[in-house]
Amino acid sequence: MTKALAPKDRIFVGLDTPDIERAVSIAKSLVGAVGGIKIGKELFTAQGPDGVRLVAGGAPLFLDLKFHDIPNTVAGAVRAAVHLRPAILNVHASGGRAMMQAAGQAARETAEDLGVERPKVIGVTVLTSLDAQDLEEVGQRGPAEDQVLRLARLTQDSGLDGVVCSPREIAAIRKACGPDFLLVVPGIRPSWSSSDDQKRVMTPEEAIAEGADHLVIGRPIAAADDPLAAARRITEDLSGTLVN
């Protein structure tokens, strides 16, 4: 059963741009209209931690850097990331059990040392830009869903809070991992928006009905002529779907 959250609180808006002024402008325009801001590699690489702080302001932050390295290196990266006070941060589940356990431990210990709330640490299963053919080219045979479920179970067994997954695997992961496993879902496109480079997509209403907790929505809001109006339109659509 999907957790009882207000429609707006389910939305993290992806600000995937190196333009700090644009990112700050969009973030400020959305204060109070969405649940938080997702910042990924493009903005982080261009603007660094100070840029992240400036854009996020006081809004909940999903720090989408997808750490994937040896356990010690990932633990160090997570310790540094917790200083940015993210609500959620992620690692690649394909980095394995030891890496994910190290990430979870680093998040717990650093948050305790700083006296702040521990961020949710989640695993990235299979990128939403990949389909079965793409996976076969890198040596993964079988449907994308099989790999997603394998990595979701490994993430849960490693003690992390949840996963990033495609909308198409929400129901299967919810069934396999239970109601308290956090599902953060990109590849969300309103019916009035294009799918862009995402291959496994779903509308916001469909994703919530399937059991998603949080939706990551980028271009349909951030690239809109009026980001606030776009966010409100999505929230209104969700309000007709959610029964808390």
Q: What is the mean pLDDT of the chain?
A: 91
**Positions of the chain with pLDDT lower than 70, given as ranges:** 1-3, 128, 193-200, 241-244
Question: What pLDDT is recorded for position 1?
Answer: 40
Q: Supply the residues annotated as catalytic.
A: 66
- pLDDT per position as a tens digit, 167-205: 889 999 999 999 999 999 998 988 776 555 545 578 999
Residue 191 tokens, joined: 């019916």
Question: What pLDDT is recorded for position 63?
Answer: 98
